[in-house]
Amino acid sequence: MSDVPILLEMRSITKEFPGVKALSDVNLVVRAGEIHAICGENGAGKSTLMKVLSGVYPYGTYDGQIIYQGAETRFSDIRASENAGIVIIHQELALIPGMSIAENIFLGNEPRKRGAIDWTAANRMALDLMARVGLEEDPDTLIKDIGVGKQQLVEIAKAFAKDVKLLILDEPTAALNEADSRHLLDLLRGFRSRGITSIMISHKLNEIEAIADQITILRDGRTVETLDVRADGVDEDRIVRGMVGRELSSRFPDHTPKIGEVFFEVRDWNVRHPISAERQVCKNESFVVRRGEIVGFAGLMGAGRTELAMSVFGRSYGVYESGTIIKDGKEIVLKSVADAIDHGLAYVSEDRKAIGLNLLDDIKSSTVAAKLSKISHRGVLDEVEEYKAAEAYRKELRTKAPTVDESVSKLSGGNQQKVVLAKWMFTDPDLLILDEPTRGIDVGAKYEIYGIIQRLADQGKGVVVISSELPELIGLCDRIYTVFEGAITGEIARADATPENLMKQMTSTKKMLTR
């Protein structure tokens, strides 16, 4: 690779925030036409580095040099870097849901004719750009009416509209299902063959291994190493070693399950969509959970796993139609979230920032938020008990924060997830439903979260894990249900679980459950 010209070089970049060095002396060399992955745990400085590169932190707020296309550049803002052909696509997509695909692609960059927007040209150009990213939709379709995978493609098309030379993708596949992820990765390969350079930040090491040419690993704001994937024979374990600075012998803690009798059962669960009542999101679904058991729910995005979980959790999603919940041999009716909490259910949502946490809160009040009655006497909160409870969970879960007075918005994803777990452990649940519990969390923190889940099961609680990562389900769960289009299509014991047979049942309407 060394004969290929260097497109971008970032030399000894140092970026300080009040009281902390986010980046110190970081070097990055990206050659033209390669896919360059940047790996590192949460907090390693990946996003900060990309913000320096794209001008979010303008020249002068950091030390070091950026050499781009052979000359030193000093971007004053994002526009400046975009004009130079550097486009960053953030994890949280920056699209406007109520606008059409074409409108979004040309937002801020509208083709004009005599001052007015030339929509004929815009639509024609949009179709051309959409073809380049393999998006087959009417450019007049609204963003909110297409799936996340297609939205991601719109973002990339938007980048092409700006004549991109260096495409930066921050966690591009985090919210995508397997098929969409594969499509995206194929797309990146296609770009490479046409000479477009990409930088990709991802936690999904298998994807990085499959697609990247070079990998730069950051740890604690420093460059650890840059690996040449083919020449160095890099595999996932090698990347993990660089990221955490030690060998991670297993991705899952050792665990011998202690499974008891069935204590929670959902029978013939039927729920309709909250807005379009003709759509049935849960079709006659039944499942059981035993004490001490970790039960997985596998399915493609949109299969209705979250909808099932939330509708069971106090009807917090959709319109309940029929079905019963049996706990400890007695039928229970959960009409509200408060009912569900009182009956010992807990639901850790898939999107912790949007619906899991109040980001204005500190760790302390977040921890007790779902069961204030536990720290109050006759309706009056006891601050000391609140502090002690929060502090106990901080220690138990090893949440990294100086004190429990810290705002949760300042924590990394893994630590935020620990706060959410603490919040639900605090309610003393019998059944925990964890929806994508490790999404957007780095390898080290994942391992810790798995350990917490196993400990909860060992305390005799039932744990339901919904996950889009099949290896996670196979590694963690004692039993896995597969869900397809709102129906449970299979039940697979741990011993029989392989990605292949899970995938088969996750994508088939054939009902294999006969119970």
Partner 1 sequence: MSRLKDLQKNLFGGTTSNARQFGMIFTLVAIVVLFQFLTDGLTLRSDNLIALFQQNSYILILAIGMLMVIVAGHIDLSVGSVAAFAGILVAKSMSDWSLPWPVAILFGLAIGAIIGAWQGFWVAYIGVPAFIVTLAGMLLFRGGNQYIGNANTIPVPEGFREIGSGFLPEFGPNTGYNNATLLLGLAAAVAVVWREIQARKTRRAMDADPAPMWISILRMAIMVGVIAFASLRFASGRVGTSFPISGIILLVLVIAYSFYTRNTAGGRHIYAVGGNSRAAELSGVKLKRVNFFVMMNMSVLAALAGMIFVARSAASGPQDGNGWELDAIAAVFIGGAAVSGGIGTISGSIVGGLVMAVLNNGLQLMGVGTDRVQIIKGLVLLLAVAIDVYNKKQGRFSIIGSLMRPFRRDDSAPPASPPNAEREPAKAAVSG
**Residue 165 and residue 83 in contact, taking contact as beta carbons nearer than 8 Å:** no
Nearer to partner 1, 43 or 299 (CB): 43
Write the CB contacts of 347 (distance below 8 Å, at least 6 apart in sequence).
309, 310, 313, 316, 340, 424, 432, 433, 435
Q: Is 297 helix (H, G, I), strand (E, B) or coil?
A: strand
Asked if 316 touches partner 1 (CB under 8 A), the answer is yes
Asked if 388 touches partner 1 (CB under 8 A), the answer is yes
Nearer to partner 1, 299 or 440 (CB): 440
Q: Which of residues 338-377 bind partner 1 (CB under 8 A)?
A: 338, 340-341, 347, 349, 354-361, 365, 369-373, 376
- Rounded distance between C-alpha atoms, residue 421 and residue 293, angstroms: 18
Asked if 18 touches partner 1 (CB under 8 A), the answer is yes
Q: State both tokens at 483.
A: 């869900």
Choices 27-35, 44-52, 151-159, 495-503; region in contact with partner 1 by CB under 8 A: 44-52
DSSP symbol at 5: P
Taking the complex as a whole, the smallest distance from the CB of residue 457 to partner 1 amounts, in Å, to: 23
| Binding residue (CB under 8 A) for partner 1 from 8, 13, 126, 201 | 201
Q: State both tokens at 447.
A: 């391992």
| Binding residue (CB under 8 A) for partner 1 from 244, 381, 392, 503 | 381
- Rounded distance between C-alpha atoms, residue 421 and residue 393, angstroms: 9
Judged by CB under 8 A, the number of residues near partner 1 is 63
- Rounded distance between C-alpha atoms, residue 334 and residue 325, angstroms: 8
Nearer to partner 1, 220 or 469 (CB): 220
Q: Which of residues 23-42 bind partner 1 (CB under 8 A)?
A: 38, 40, 42
Nearer to partner 1, 275 or 384 (CB): 384
Taking the complex as a whole, the smallest distance from the CB of residue 114 to partner 1 amounts, in Å, to: 38
Binding mask 447-466 for partner 1 (x = CB under 8 A): --------------------
**Residue 55 and residue 78 in contact, taking contact as beta carbons nearer than 8 Å:** yes
Asked if 77 touches partner 1 (CB under 8 A), the answer is no
Write the CB contacts of 322 (distance below 8 Å, at least 6 apart in sequence).
268, 269, 270
Q: State both tokens at 117.
A: 């927007």
* End-to-end C-alpha distance for the chain, whole angstroms: 58
Asked if 43 touches partner 1 (CB under 8 A), the answer is yes
Nearer to partner 1, 117 or 338 (CB): 338
Asked if 120 touches partner 1 (CB under 8 A), the answer is no
Decide the pairing of beta strands 214-219 and 222-228: antiparallel
Residue with tokens 């949502």: 349
How many Cα atoms occupy the beta-carbon half-sphere of 424 within 13 Å? 31
DSSP symbol at 373: G
Taking the complex as a whole, the smallest distance from the CB of residue 35 to partner 1 amounts, in Å, to: 18
Residue with tokens 């924060």: 401
Asked if 170 touches partner 1 (CB under 8 A), the answer is yes
Nearer to partner 1, 381 or 513 (CB): 381
Asked if 275 touches partner 1 (CB under 8 A), the answer is no
| Binding residue (CB under 8 A) for partner 1 from 103, 155, 180, 406 | 406
* Secondary structure in 3-state letters for 188-230: HHHHHHCCCEEEEECCCHHHHHHHCCEEEEEECCEEEEEEEHH
Nearer to partner 1, 151 or 412 (CB): 412
Nearer to partner 1, 293 or 406 (CB): 406
Choices 188-196, 318-326, 400-408, 505-513; region in contact with partner 1 by CB under 8 A: 400-408
* CB burial readout 7-37, b (16+ within 10 A) else e: bbbbeebebeeeeeebbbebebebbebbbbb
* Secondary structure in 3-state letters for 108-136: CCCCEECCEECHHHHHHHHHHHHHHCCCC
Nearer to partner 1, 308 or 488 (CB): 308
Binding site for partner 1 (CB under 8 A): 17-20, 22, 38, 40, 42-48, 170, 201, 221, 313-314, 316, 336-338, 340-341, 347, 349, 354-361, 365, 369-373, 376, 379-381, 383-384, 387-388, 391, 400-403, 405-407, 409-412, 415, 423
